[in-house]
């Protein structure tokens, strides 16, 4: 069975200020349906929107004075869909404008049918690339084709069936010299040609039926960004980052003309003219130009190019229809500009009309033909606004019209210049400043505010963001919503106010690429971060074990998929019900021939419970009800909310209703082993093997000594401190299991579970997916049914309880995404919401990773070594120094170890601790203080926080303990934990030095 690629879980936090309609980030794609008056937009936020324009786009409108024209209607939002989780790079209309196809950086090509009566809000994936999909193109409408072409950074051109039949053709576009140069940035399709362009600076032509190469067109000097093909398939226009637009002849295989009206990289071309006689272009500087070469194809120098509009930033896409132009930029809004009628009756300045007439004498007949095609009335001509000279662009370097010089109508310089070709002009004058015809747009489709910048705070549960409006928001990653707004401020200023002095392990990453706050959980670190339960602010109080810690990753995943857990519990009950019905039939059959009287056996408490007393934990937070374990302990069944069995040593209890807890976290050599078990425990007077913690010394011992010492400390605590705090200071290796209680070794062991682990060759093969966990559970049911057919089957679905993962209520609309790594990034394999994950159980079972199933259904997390921090303890004042058995005061412990636990360890070694502490006794942190770099440390501060914010170095942390005078400290009597001073040949306790230099212990 092939192992799946690594998968990750993401969830998207919605902004409370957002509403339907409008993009949050820049717009990359535009498409206009002139028949129905609809504009489609595709944004970097992964959203596609449809807008009702309220315009008749089937008739062209000439430029007129604004005073004579009523104000055009405003655009209204129509519909939207969220097909992608990354930038949408291009969109196009297909199938007579009934389908919108989008290409995205999430590697997919999707089709949205906004007019569909079945599901007009959902986009369907029709194709997938191995890298970002940069462009998409459809063949001409008259072909009635049922396919669409896409190109991407994976150097592939793919043809996809629009009805979901998959890939119909793939073309491998490899760079001739450098393979990576074969990336496809521009794509156009005609009946017989697919044309592509990219960083290789070459236009490549392919046959869309076979994928065979036809030819290539060479001439550009930089990346090709846009391509158009005329309906005949013979003329191609290409725009490049080299600031030029080239017109090519496919049959001739040559460049016919080079347009140089732009001074910056050209990003977009658009034309609705079948012969490409009129086209629009936009560049990185925001200039939008309209060029008309109709009637001058024999001498393109006589064409006309006008600066129509000027955006404040680069225009990534331009489209036009019905006398209007729309521009898309890196802003979330879309502007609509007026168009210009470039027929021969255009109202040019008089001197430019003379220039154009003189230079176009050879094209008089062609121009007259064009004037007959478009012949506005005298009233229209009178209303036409005069084009300013600064709005006329020089179409190419060889064009005479307009001249670079400023002409005097009476000067002979005009005739001299017109007598020359542009290439023969002797003196070059700088071009005058370009002034576009329109200074402001007719209408703006307003966008929403997207997130641009973020800062993860030290607690790693809160994030500050800055949006496009300049507002700063504070988000809670566990509540999945914004919790506070700070208005228009600098992000750094707010951070200084709200940040805390903490050090929490990284457990997630934040992505703002879609304009929303997306939290990404990776399996290799999402369970690393823990917080102490007593630091939580919960609506409903929950009794936690002392110093209990909660894994942030497990906590949020538990409730993102709460509805899925509910659905799986129902399916599990249904599956077991069928088996238990067979068990009941066999029990009935076995009692059919039973004697009239039988001798009752002695009471067996292990089997007293009834199956109907068992309730599987639910996602709404109710508890698992446990019967009293049959170990001769007369205890009542704990009520709802009980987290432990009071007064019972943890190692002596193993519920038959729960599978044995596995040691998976490997918290070895740890003074504070905060593991996790399914049945949490409360502190008891007697130390238990499960609740013990260890602190190892810095120097390594021999293996024999480790074993001897471990066996001794396991039997009984080495000191009264061990009795009081249930710890042993040995090098016994302890592991971290599932709940926050530590478990060294259960007394009651499920032999079948061990057998299934050791005899893996006899197990049935399961899928490497979420469903594989379900298969393993059902295989265990089947095995139990086969071996003990008369015993009812209890559930093995054991999600975490609220005392491990307190109830969270993420908003129902929170998006949940499962992604899988690919060679070019990551691809979505599932996308849903918190509300719908239960309904999508079938899909999630097949697509989700196995580790997620282990977590949700059995509360298991992947094994990982804990992070340790080494530190050194020195006395301050008149306190005595520590004297560990190995003569070294260098210690290490889990990074989450708190100051108060270190002080408890110190107390054990510098004073006499009573076996039974009195009710009024002071806690160690009340009469001892711990310092680092002359800073008093808070008792709740962890080692990780000390090292990050106080010590600020990678070396061993140096700590000093000091009495505050609230209690007289009496030295302890000689014990196993102390080395008597009179012991021959062994260094005894070291008295604090009288100088300012603290005393330390020395090795023997």
Say if residues 179 and 173 touch (Cβ distance below 8 Å). no
What's the pLDDT at 217? 95
Report the pLDDT value the prediction gives residue 971, as an integer from 0 to 100.
80
- Residue with the larger pLDDT of the pair 648 and 92: 92
Most confident of 441-450, 568-577, 702-711: 568-577
- Token couple for 148: 């669409």
Which of 66-70, 606-610, 814-818, 915-919 has the largest mean confidence? 814-818
DSSP strand pairing (38-43 vs 481-488)? unpaired
Asked if residues 302 and 292 have their Cβ atoms less than 8 Å apart, the reply is no
* Sheet-wide strand order for 133-137: 133-137, 147-152, 156-161, 166-172
Residues 6+ positions from 395 with CB-CB distance below 8 Å? 259, 260, 261, 291, 293, 300, 301, 303, 304, 305, 401
Higher confidence at residue 669 or residue 961?
A: 961
Lowest mean pLDDT among 293-302, 438-447, 485-494: 293-302
Q: Which helix (H) or strand (E) holds 110?
A: strand 108-112
Strongest mean pLDDT among 53-62, 374-383, 592-601: 53-62
Burial of 274 (0-12, 13-18, 19+ CB in 10 A): exposed
Q: Is 480 exposed, middle or buried (0-12, 13-18, 19+ CB in 10 A)?
A: buried
Q: Is 90 exceeded by the pLDDT of residue 638?
A: no
pLDDT level of residue 429 (50, 70, 90 thresholds): low
Encode pLDDT of 18-42 as tens digits.
Answer: 666 789 889 999 999 999 999 999 9
Percent of the chain with pLDDT over 70: 69
* pLDDT band, very low/low/confident/very high, at 397 (cuts 50, 70, 90): confident
The predicted pLDDT at position 803 comes to 87
Statement: residue 775 has pLDDT above 90 = yes
Beta 76-81 vs 235-240: how paired, if at all?
unpaired
The pair of structure tokens assigned to 835 is 């509300």
Of 244, 260, 250, the residue nearest 194 (C-alpha): 250
Cβ contacts of 714 within 8 Å, gap of 6 or more? 689, 692, 728, 732, 744
The span from the CA of 19 to the CA of 32, in Å, is: 23
| Dihedral (CA of 770, 771, 777, 780) sign | negative
Q: Name the helix (H) or strand (E) containing 826.
A: strand 825-833
Residue pair 882/873 in contact (Cβ under 8 Å)? The answer is yes
pLDDT of residue 431: 59
pLDDT mean over 566-578: 95
Residue 402, preceding bond cis, omega within 30 degrees?
A: yes
Segment 535-562, tens digit of pLDDT: 888 877 888 888 899 999 999 999 999 9
Which of 666-675, 706-715, 726-735, 792-801: highest mean pLDDT?
792-801
Share of the chain above pLDDT 90, in %: 49
Name the band, by pLDDT with cuts 50, 70 and 90, for residue 469: confident
Residue pair 700/706 in contact (Cβ under 8 Å)? The answer is no
**Rounded CA gap, 329 and 400, in Å?**
33
56, 37 contact by CB (below 8 A)? yes
Confidence of residue 450 (pLDDT cuts 50, 70, 90): confident
Classify 851 as helix, strand or coil.
Answer: helix
Q: How far is CA 998 from CA 540, 761, 971, 995, in A?
A: 48, 60, 18, 7
CA dist 94 and 90 (Å) reads 13
* Token pair belonging to 490: 């600098």
Which residues neighbour 721 within 8 Å (Cβ) at sequence distance 6 or greater?
727, 904, 905, 907, 908, 909, 913, 977
Whole-angstrom distance, CA of residue 215 vs CA of residue 218: 10
Answer whether residue 694 shows pLDDT above 90: no
Sign of CA dihedral 876, 881, 886, 892: negative
Residues 6+ apart with CB under 8 A from 808: 478, 479, 555, 556, 558, 559
For the whole model, what pTM was predicted? 0.70
> What's residue 472's pLDDT?
95
Are 301 and 401 spatial neighbours (Cβ–Cβ below 8 Å)? Answer: yes
């Amino acid at each position: 069975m092939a192992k799946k690629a690594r998968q990750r879980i993401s969830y998207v936090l919605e902004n409370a200020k957002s509403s339907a309609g409008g993009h949050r980030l820049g717009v990359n794609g535009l498409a206009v349906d002139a028949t129905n008056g609809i504009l489609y937009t595709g944004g970097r936020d992964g959203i596609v929107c449809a807008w009702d324009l309220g315009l008749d786009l089937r008739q062209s409108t000439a430029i007129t004075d604004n005073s004579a024209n009523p104000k055009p209607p405003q655009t209204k939002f129509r519909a939207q869909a969220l097909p992608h989780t990354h930038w949408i790079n291009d969109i196009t209309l297909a199938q007579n404008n009934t389908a919108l196809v989008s290409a995205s950086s999430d590697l997919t090509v999707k089709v949205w049918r906004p007019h569909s009566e079945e599901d007009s809000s959902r986009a369907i994936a029709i194709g997938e690339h191995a890298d970002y999909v940069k462009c998409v193109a459809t063949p001409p409408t008259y072909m009635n084709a049922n396919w669409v072409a896409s190109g991407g950074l994976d150097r592939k051109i793919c043809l996809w069936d629009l009805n979901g039949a998959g890939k119909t053709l793939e073309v491998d576009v490899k760079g001739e010299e450098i393979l990576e140069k074969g990336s496809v940035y521009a794509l156009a399709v005609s009946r017989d040609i697919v044309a592509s362009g990219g960083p290789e600076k070459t236009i490549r032509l392919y046959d869309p039926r076979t994928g065979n190469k036809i030819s290539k067109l060479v001439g550009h000097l930089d990346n090709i960004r846009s391509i158009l093909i005329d309906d005949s398939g013979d003329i191609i226009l290409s725009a490049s980052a080299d600031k030029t637009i080239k017109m090519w002849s496919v049959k001739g295989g040559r460049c016919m003309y080079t347009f140089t009206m732009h001074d910056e990289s050209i990003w977009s071309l658009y034309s609705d003219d079948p012969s490409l006689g009129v086209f629009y272009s936009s560049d990185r500087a925001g200039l939008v130009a309209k060029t008309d070469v109709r009637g001058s194809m024999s001498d393109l120098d006589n064409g006309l190019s006008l600066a129509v509009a000027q955006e404040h930033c680069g225009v990534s896409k331009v489209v036009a229809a019905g006398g209007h132009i729309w521009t898309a930029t890196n802003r979330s809004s879309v502007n609509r500009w007026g168009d210009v009628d470039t027929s021969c009756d255009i109202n040019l300045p008089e001197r430019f009309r003379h220039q154009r007439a003189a230079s176009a004498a050879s094209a008089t007949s062609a121009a007259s033909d064009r004037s007959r095609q478009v012949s506005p009335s005298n009233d229209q001509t009178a209303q036409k606004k005069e084009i300013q000279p600064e709005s006329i662009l020089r179409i190419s370097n060889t064009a005479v019209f307009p001249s670079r010089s400023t002409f005097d109508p009476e000067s002979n310089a005009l005739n001299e210049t017109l007598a020359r070709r542009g290439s023969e002009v002797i003196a070059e004058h700088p071009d005058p400043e370009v002034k576009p015809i329109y200074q402001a747009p007719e209408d703006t489709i307003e966008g929403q505010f997207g997130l641009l910048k973020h800062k993860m705070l030290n607690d790693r549960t809160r994030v500050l963001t800055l949006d496009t409006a300049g507002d700063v928001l504070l988000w809670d990653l566990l509540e999945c919503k914004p919790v506070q707004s700070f208005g228009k401020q600098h992000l750094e200023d707010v951070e200084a106010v709200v940040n805390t002095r903490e050090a929490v392990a990284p457990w997630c990453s934040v992505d703002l690429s879609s304009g929303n706050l997306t939290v990404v959980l990776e399996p290799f670190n999402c369970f690393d971060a823990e917080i102490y339960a007593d630091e939580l602010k919960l609506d409903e109080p929950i009794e936690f074990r002392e110093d209990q810690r909660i894994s942030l990753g497990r906590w949020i995943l538990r409730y993102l998929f709460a509805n899925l857990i509910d659905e799986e519990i129902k399916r599990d009950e249904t599956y077991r019900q069928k088996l238990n019905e067979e068990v009941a039939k066999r029990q009935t059959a076995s009692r059919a021939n039973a004697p009239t009287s039988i001798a009752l056996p002695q009471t067996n408490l292990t089997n007293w419970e009834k199956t109907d007393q068992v309730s599987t934990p639910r996602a709404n937070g109710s508890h698992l009800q446990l019967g009293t374990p049959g170990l001769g302990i007369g205890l009542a069944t704990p009520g709802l909310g009980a987290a432990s069995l009071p007064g019972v040593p943890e190692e002596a209890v193993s519920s038959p209703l729960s599978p044995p807890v596995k040691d998976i976290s490997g918290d070895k050599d740890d003074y504070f082993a905060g593991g996790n078990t399914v049945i949490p425990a409360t502190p008891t007077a007697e130390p238990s093997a499960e609740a013990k913690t260890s602190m190892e010394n810095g120097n390594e011992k021999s293996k024999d000594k480790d074993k001897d010492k471990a066996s001794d400390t396991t039997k009984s605590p080495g000191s009264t401190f061990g009795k009081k705090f249930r710890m042993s200071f040995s090098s016994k290796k302890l592991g971290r299991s599932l709940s926050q209680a530590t478990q060294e070794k259960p007394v009651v062991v499920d032999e079948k579970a061990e057998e299934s682990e050791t005899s893996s060759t006899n197990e049935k093969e399961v899928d490497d997916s979420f469903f594989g966990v379900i298969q393993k559970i059902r295989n265990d049911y089947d095995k139990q049914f086969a071996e003990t057919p008369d015993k009812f089957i209890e559930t093995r679905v054991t999600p975490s309880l609220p005392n491990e993962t307190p109830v969270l209520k993420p908003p129902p609309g929170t998006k949940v995404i499962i992604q899988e790594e690919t060679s070019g990034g990551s691809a979505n394999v599932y996308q849903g919401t918190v509300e719908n994950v239960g309904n999508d159980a079938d899909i999630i079972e097949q697509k989700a990773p196995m580790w997620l199933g282990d977590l949700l259904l059995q509360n298991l997390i992947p094994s990982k070594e804990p992070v340790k921090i080494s530190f050194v303890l020195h006395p301050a004042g008149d306190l005595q120094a520590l004297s560990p058995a190995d003569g070294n005061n260098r210690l290490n412990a889990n990074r989450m170890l708190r100051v108060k636990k270190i002080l408890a360890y110190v107390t054990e070694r510098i004073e006499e601790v009573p076996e039974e502490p009195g009710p009024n006794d002071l806690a160690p942190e009340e009469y001892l203080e711990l310092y680092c770099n002359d800073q008093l440390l808070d008792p709740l501060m962890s080692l990780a926080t000390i090292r990050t914010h106080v010590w600020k170095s990678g070396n061993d942390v140096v700590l000093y303990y000091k009495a505050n005078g609230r209690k007289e400290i009496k030295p302890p009597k000689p014990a196993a934990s102390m080395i008597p001073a009179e012991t021959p040949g062994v260094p005894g306790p070291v008295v604090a030095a009288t100088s300012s230099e603290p005393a330390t212990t020395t090795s023997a």
